[in-house]
Chain A
Amino acid sequence: MTASESLALITETMNNNSKEIIRRGGKYFILWGILLTCFSLLVYALWKSTGHAYWNNLWFAMPLVGYPLARMIRSKEEPAMATNAVSRIVSGIWTSFGVFACSVAAFSVLYSFLGNSPLGKIAVGAGLTASIVLLFGLAETISGVALKNWAIKIAGFVTGIGSLAIYYITGANEEQMFIFTLAGIVLAATGFIVKRQNK
């Protein structure tokens, strides 16, 4: 090998490797995006038809469906795995998002049980939808920063800030579920873009 050929080989290997790791991350964006869209439409339909906001508790079922599916995708990749700092950070960001989102949702449930007690008053201040979409947008934007991908960064801002604006304009009713539908579509679309960019 000449010096130029060696350098070209190094560059090509490193680029392909980096693209492969990012491309794999795209699968999880698509999975959670589709789940978010489906659950938001389901909660909307049940809330609208019955008039009961307690259908929001269905959100707790999303991780119960999503995590086994994510594990299934991961187990298919397992014989050929590679991790780097970026993939570890992105995984950490979304795990943290899951924990924070579940905590916010738990506050909402707490409120429904505790009503006017002091704990209930803390819970109602949490503003379930607004808090979750902000967390979601933040998680997506930071993922974009870690992956050095503008599509993800922009999608994160659009989801977080845009959805928050819609929330305050439309108010707290079943139509706020469309905010999650939008967030899910943006997330899944971002996953498809990431996969295409890194083929």
Chain B
Amino acid sequence: MCPEKDILSAFFDGELDERFVSMIEAHLSECDSCREILAGFEDVRTVLHDAEIPDCAPSKRLAWSFLSDKFSSLYPRPVWKRRLLIPAPAMAAVLLLVLVLGAGLMVSIFNRRDDFGFDTVTRTHFENVQFASFEQIIEYLDARGNGGALIFTLPQDTRLQYLSEPTFIKAADYKRGRD
């Protein structure tokens, strides 16, 4: 008895369970009509595969350029070529913030007390203060009560008096001016 044609078709596709393959093969060896059906399948397959399919390469390129345009993360543009989109409300908020902060900063700068903090010490602060001796400078600093960096610029034409060679003193021997 001949197998169903759909079984033959599955056999032709190599999709038949192995148990049945040998049975079908045995049957085919002695059945002309089934062999003819198989040959028909083969012919259809040949015709299908011989038929020309247009080259997909141009279409593939076109579709890719469309996709990469659509999804810019596929081909990230260089930073300087990117379009920057800021929503108008966000932009306004940022501008406002800059304005407020800037104004605040200016006010705080102009209202600043001259407390001779480290960062505000400049030459001009000292130009009005005259010191006759080094002790006066020490006293002045002590009176102010806070530290700071001082830059002493000596006048160009100062003639220094020679006292002695500079010497190193040990910390243990240093008594902060006390005898």
Is this pair of chains taken from one and the same complex? no
Where the two chains meet, the residues of B that have a C-beta atom closer than 8 Å to any C-beta of A are none
